[in-house]
Each structure stands twice: as C-alpha cells, then as structure tokens.
Amino acid sequence: MIESFYELFFARYNYWMAIILMLIGLYALIAKQNLVKKLIGLNIFQTAIFLFYISLGEVRGGTAPIYLPEGVDALYVNPLPHVLILTAIVVGVSVTAVGLSLIVRIHEEYGVIDEAGLLQELRRR
Amino acid sequence: MRRNVIIKTVSRFLVPFIQVYALYVIVHGALGAGGGFQGGVVFAASFILMIIAFGLTCVRERFGYRWIVMLSALGITIYATIGLLCLIPGGNYLEYGSIEAALGIPHLHGYLIDAVEIGIGMTVMAIMTSIIYDMGDTGGESP
Amino acid sequence: MTLIDHLPVFLIAIPILASLLILVAGWWDRRLCYPISLVTILSQFGAAVIILAQVMREGTVRYYLGGWAPPLGIELAIDSFNGFILTTILLLSAAAVIYARRSVEHEVGPEKTIAFYVLFQLLVTGLVGMTITGDIFNLYVFLEISSIAAYALIASARKPRSYLASFNYLILGSIAGGFILIGTGNLYAATGALNMLDISRLLPASFELATVHAGFLFLVIGYSIKAAFFPLHIWLPDAYAESPSAVTILISTVMSKVSVYALFRIIFTIFTTAYIVDVFPVTGFILFIATVAMIAGAVIAIAQSDLKRMLAYSSVSQIGYIMFALGVANQVALEGGILHILGHAVMKGCLFMVAGLIIYRVGTSRLSDLGGIAKVMPISCAAFALAGASMIGIPPTIGFMSKYYLVLGALEAGHWLYAAILLLGSLLAVGYIWRFIEIAYFRDGRDRGSGAARTLEAPASMLAPMVALALLCLFLGIFVEGLMEIVGPAASLLLGGA
C-alpha cells in the first residue's frame, strides 16, 4: 500500500509537478479576465510541457551527452527530448510575440484589455 | 526617464563581451552544446541591453528595419542554399557528407554545419530584435 | 538520384526561399509579390502532381533528410493518401492566391501587402510540410508554423474585430498545440521512436499502457481543436467571418483539411484500426459526435444572419461528415471521407469566394442586405447555386458522390440509424443553401444605383478561380471513377492493406 503510493506520487514527482503547473496554466487561461494574464497562463502551460519533456530524457546519474575521449565509459542522459523542446521553446516565444502584438492592437483599438470591458465595448459599437 | 550613467557605462563594457560569447555559442554548434538558436538569442539580448541603456530610437538608428529584413532573409538563404548545394554531388538535402566526399576536403561537413548555424543565428537575432522593436514601438517610450 | 527524387524536399525548401524573395523583392516593388507567390504555388502544384503520379506507379515515395535513415533522421513520406491530400491543398492554394490579388488590395491594404504574401506563402509551406512529413514531431513543428502564420493573417483584415478573433484562435490553437506536444511526448516515452512507421511498429507491444491511452487522447483532442470538430469548434466562426476573404478561403478549405488529415494519419497509421476497435474502442463515440456535429452545425448555420458566418457553421457540419468516415472505419466509408475532404475543399472554397466577391462589391455580407443580388451578380450567384447543390448532395456533383459512399459504408457496417441521420443532415443543408438562393433570386432588393443594367460582377481574376471551382464540383462528380483509383488505394492503405 505504502509502496504503491510511493510509486505513484514520489517516484514520479517530476510528472506530477508538470501536471500541477499545467493545470495552473490552464486555470489562468480560463479564469483570468485580463488578456495579458491569459497569455501568461499560456506560457506557464507551455513551460509545464517543456518540463515534462526535459524530465523525460533524464537518466539517474547520467552526464551531459557530450563526446568523451576513448576509453571513458559514461551514462548519458537522452538528448533527443531536449533538442525537441528547443524547437518547442522557439514556437512558444513566437506565439507569445504574436499574442502580445495582438493585445497591443486590441488595446489601441478598444482601450481595454480585459474581457468584461471588451464585451462592453463590442456591445456599445 | 533620465538615462542612468552607470547603466550606460556598464552596458558599454558588457555588450562586446555578450556579442563575442554569442558568436562563440553559434560557432560551437557543430561540436558541442550550442548552436544558432541559442547564440542568436544571446546576440539579440545584447541589443535588448542597449535598448534599455540608450533607448529604442538610438539603437534603431544604427540597426534599422532594413538590416533586420536583410539579415533574416540572408540567414535563411544561407541555410537553404547549403541544403540545396548538397544535392549537386548527389546527396540528399542537407547531406553534408556528399560535398565533403565530392571535394575531398577533410572536416568540410563541420564547416558547413557552422555555416548553417551562422545562418540560423543571423535570422534568430534579427527576428528577436524586430520583436523587441515592435513591442517597444507602441508602448509609452519616454523621451 | 535525379532531380525528380528530390521533389519532396523542393516542396518545402523552395517556398521558404520564395517567401524571403517576396520579402526582399516586395521592398523593391510591391507589385512583384503576387507573381512570385503565384509562380511558387503553381510550381508546387506541378511537383505535387508529378509526385502523385510517381506514387501511383511505384508505391510510397520516401525521402531522408540529410541522408539519415528513419530511426535517426527525419523522413518525408508520400503515399497515395497524403499525395492526394497534397494535390488537393495545393490546387486550392493556387485558386486562393489567384483570388487574393484583388481581395488583398481591398481588404488588407497596400501597406501590409508584402507581409500578407510572405505569411500566405509560409502558411502554405507549413501545411504542405504537415502533409508530407513522416515524423510525428515534425508534424507538430509544421503545424505551429502554419498556425502562427494563420494567426497573423486572420488579424490582417482592417476590421478591429479580427484582432479579437485572431487572439481567441491563438489561445485555443496554442492549447491544442500543447496537447499535441504532450501526446507526442507520451508516444515517445512509450516507444522511444518519433518516426510514424516506427511508432506503429513498436506500439502494439505497449497498447495496454496508460501512457499510450493518454497520448492517444491528447493527440486526438489537440488535432480535433485544430480541425474544429464539433464541440471544439468555438474559435472557427469568428476566425472565418472576420478574416480577409482570401485568408478565409485558405484556412477554411486547406487548413482544417490538413488537421483532419493529421487525425486520420494518427488514428489509422500510428495507432491502427486494431487499437481503436479492440483496445480502446472510440469509433462509436466518434461516430456519435460526428452525427451531432452534422446536425448541430447545420441547424446553427440556418440561424445565422451573416453569409460568411453561415458558411463557417456549415464547415462545422461538413467536418462532421469527414469524421463520420473515421467513426465507421471501413473501406467504403473511408473512401467517402477522403473524397469528401477534396469535395468539401472545392465547394466550400467556391462558396467563400462568392461571399468574398459580395463583400468586395457590396461591402456587407449581411443576408438581409443582399435581396435581389442575383440580378447584378449573375455569375457569382450561379456559382453559389452549383457549389450549394454539391453541398446539399444533388447528383451528379462531387458532394453527392462522397455522401453516397459514406451512406454505403455506414449501411455496410450496420449503422442504419446513423446513415439516416446523415441524410437528414443533407436536408438541413438545403435549409441554409436555399436561404441565400431565395434571397438572391426571388427577393426584391433595394435599388442598387443606376438602373437594372448595371452589373456589379467582380474583376476576372476573382471570377475565374470561383467559376473554375464551381465547375470542378460538377466534373469531379461526373468523373469520380478516375478519382476512385487514387482514393481506393488510399483508404485500404489507412486500413492497413497494401
């Protein structure tokens, strides 16, 4: 009983952290009224996924996957998820940039960046 | 806001080092941890520091929209051209080994990877800088 | 290695170079953007046709980037299924770019022309990349390239509401992207592979793992958001209705289809029918949701007061038809579904082109302002009627043929009730198509200026692609036998045959 509990929660605490962060991000995306805060939520959500991937490649006691001289045996961490996530980070940055510039435009046009205010503005026009 | 003399002086010292470090990261991409993405972002960070210290207009006068378009286009062109060059000796796209084998120059594929990384670095640097410009453009930039 | 063998990589590398050429050349002279874009997309279309012919002759075409074979490298793989999709999307992109020239001048404005064409090119490139890649992570990367280009394109209309539409789409699209990323990670954790064929080979050993189930759900939900499958469609109406006409045409016909393609690819090629039928039975559920989508989309479409919005909800309904094939999952239904991907792209492209022309000439797409529009725009309204007939499914149009196969497949699988509901959905399509026809032909409108002789028909560069697509609805239906030679093998390929 204790062992299975340990197995479920503590042996895989990295995944739980990723899930908790992801839910925080999703909460901000859904519940926050301010568009900038929504975007911050999106960033937290994406960061959680990055964390998930990076911990996926981790090997206990592994070193950085850099070529070592002949004769030295070493346990490497899996570099592939890290490389993949580099691409995903670039995607995240671009999405954030597009989102922020959209918010700038929305603010120029309507003068507000929270949802309630925007609804009011839309109804007024 | 009056520009603080300490920030100005410190960034004047730091910017060259940041840029050299960025170049190191870019060129190191072929052999170890490094590469165009990371190096390009570090390079762009030096521009951000300059914007903080000297203001947006000052930086933009020296590194304007034309530079950004040219550098980003040039970077991707380098990448795609080297990829396509590999087709000529009969390799696949980006198969550096084919050029190395055709010309018989040892370690050429390493240099080609470096060239591709430099291209990527240029584009990333230009695009990141342009994002900063666009963000700073409409905000309340005080004179 | 001849040049023909390198065509798959040219499909991606050349347009990316062209998009930069547009950037630099447009700086020189803004009028250069359009011809470069047109030539690039047309040559891509030519390449796609050549590749499709090669695939039909010799089987799957594989291309290893950098010469690294699959477990290590990324491969581009084109078989009869994605060759067909590739040709479809490039055909529609070519029609959209021809249409775009005048539409951009009108709806986007001269100062944003260069950016528009660059993004248009990148969007098409991203979608082409999604279609031909054989690597599941690469699929995600190309998806994000096309999505980011689409966010910016939707916001390029001169209306402030388009910013809000784009922002909503950005938030939902990024959540979808995140889900897809998690799903990809789960599959990687379960199998240690990223190549689609490798995953499908290694996956049966770990079919029972919770990781795989979670990965499946994340991937399916993520791509369903992108494809606007019914309860996840909420970004779609605003994004379609508020963006410039040329962009609406591209994202409604091409982008949603490519996401549906990705769903088919993931469900049938990676997870295979064994998984969705025996291990994790979802087909019944997908079938149920698909029929709900058909009916709900059509009913909401009938209730709309704006032409573009009506067509947008009709897309929700039509995506339901394609997903119906996924739910039935037998040979005949899949043939119908794949045929409907082409058919819906062609007819919805034509309908949105008509809506765009009306906005171009009349300045509004509110249905109540369009009374008697057929008198001044006879060609456009005739095209609408033809494409609308295809949407309803009147023989011998392409819409009839695809629905015929769908119903046949459903009956073969014993889903009598669902087949009946599908026919009911077609009846509802009559509701919204007829509404416009009735307003355009039989209702008297306001006086439109200097007498009845005046025509409001748009310039030829916008009429030509529209008429071509309308006629295509008819011809594809008549010559459906030729298409079945590609669609048949594609469907059996998805089901694990040849």
C333 close to C290: Cβ distance less than 8 angstroms: no
The model's confidence at residue A43, banded by pLDDT at 50, 70 and 90, is very high
- Show which of residues 419-478 on chain C sit within 8 Å of chain B, judged by CB atoms: none
For chain B, the structural domain boundaries read 5-138
Which pLDDT does position C147 carry in this prediction? 92
% of residues, chain B, pLDDT over 90: 7
| Rounded Cα–Cα distance for residues C410 and C424 (Å) | 14
pLDDT recorded at residue B138? 54
Residue C326 structure tokens: 């996924």
Confidence of residue C93 (pLDDT cuts 50, 70, 90): very high
Query: Could you give the 3-state DSSP secondary structure of residue B40?
Result: helix
Using CB atoms and an 8 Å cut-off, which of residues 73-112 of chain A contact chain C?
A: 80-81, 84, 87-88, 91, 94-95, 98-99, 102-103, 105-106, 109-110
- B134 inside 8 A of chain A by CB: yes
CA Rg, chain A, in Å?
21
Nearest CB partner across the interface for C17, out of B80, B91, B95: B80
Around Cβ C451, how many Cβ atoms within 10 Å? 7
**Side chain identity at C436, as an amino acid letter?**
F
Amino acid at B86: C
Nearest to C318 by CA among C420, C390, C222: C390
Task: Answer yes or no: is pLDDT of A72 > 50.
Answer: yes
In angstroms, what separates the C-alpha of C234 from chain B's closest C-alpha? 29
> Taking 80 as the threshold, does the pLDDT of residue C86 lie above it?
yes
Query: Which residue did the predictor score with more confidence, C451 or B76?
Result: B76
> What local confidence, expressed as pLDDT, does residue A56 receive?
82
> Is pLDDT above 80 for B141?
no
How far apart are the C-alpha atoms of C252 and C246, rounded to whole Å? 10
Backbone torsion region of residue C258, taken as left when φ is above 0, otherwise alpha when ψ lies between -120 and 50, otherwise beta: alpha
Q: What is the pLDDT of residue C447?
A: 53
Query: Which residues have a Cβ under 8 Å from the Cβ of C102 and sit 6 or more positions away?
Result: C360, C458, C459, C461, C462
Nearest-angstrom CA–CA distance, A64 and C171: 35
CB C37 within 8 A of CB C1: no
Instruction: Mutate one of C9, C11, C36, C119 to test the B interface: name it (highest B CB count within 10 A).
Output: C9
Residue C84 CA to residue B121 CA, distance in Å, equals 37
Q: What does the DSSP 8-state code read for residue B3?
A: P
Q: How far apart are the first and last CA of chain B?
A: 7
Q: Which residues of C touch A (CB under 8 A)?
A: 137, 140-141, 144, 148, 151-152, 155, 160-161, 163-164, 166-167, 170-171, 174-175, 177-178, 181-182, 185, 188-189, 194
Report which of residues A121 and C449 the model is more confident about: A121
CB B113 within 8 A of CB B95: no
List the single residue in B37, B134, B138 with the smallest CB-CB distance to A90.
B37
- Quickly state the pLDDT bin for C1 (edges 50, 70, 90): low
Chain A contacts in chain B segment 17-46 (CB below 8 A) = 32-33, 37-38
Cα–Cα distances (Å) from C197 to C184, C207, C496, in that order, read 14, 16, 12
Banded pLDDT at C414 (limits 50, 70, 90): confident
Kindly tell me the burial class for residue B41, based on how many C-beta atoms sit within 10 Å of its own C-beta (0-12, 13-18, 19 or more).
Answer: buried
Separation of alpha carbons C309 and C239, rounded Å: 10
Q: Residues in chain C, how many?
A: 498
Residue B2 pLDDT level (bands cut at 50, 70, 90)? low
Do C123 and C173 form a contact (C-beta atoms < 8 A)? no
For the cut 90, the answer to whether the pLDDT of residue C219 exceeds it is yes
Letter for the amino acid at C420? A
Domains identified in chain A and CATH numbers: 2-63+71-124 (1.10.287.3510)
Q: Are C252 and C348 contacting, i.e. CB atoms less than 8 angstroms apart?
A: yes
Region of poorest pLDDT, from B58-62, C414-418, C462-466: B58-62
How far, CA to CA in Å, does B68 sit from each of B17, B41, C267, C407?
A: 22, 14, 42, 55
| Structure confidence by residue, pLDDT tens digits, C138-151 | 999 999 999 999 99
d(CA A125, CA A118): 11
Residues A40-50 as b or e (16 or more Cβ within 10 Å = b): bbbbbbbbbbb
| pLDDT tens, position by position, C236-257 | 888 888 888 888 999 888 888 8
Q: Kindly provide the ipTM of the predicted complex, given to two decimals.
A: 0.91
Contact C147, C173 (CB under 8 A): yes
C255-299: pLDDT as tens digits: 888 999 999 999 998 888 888 888 888 888 899 999 999 999 999
The pLDDT of residue C156 is above 70? yes
The per-residue pLDDT for range C347-406, each reduced to its tens digit, is: 999 999 998 888 888 877 888 887 778 888 888 888 999 999 988 888 888 888 889 999
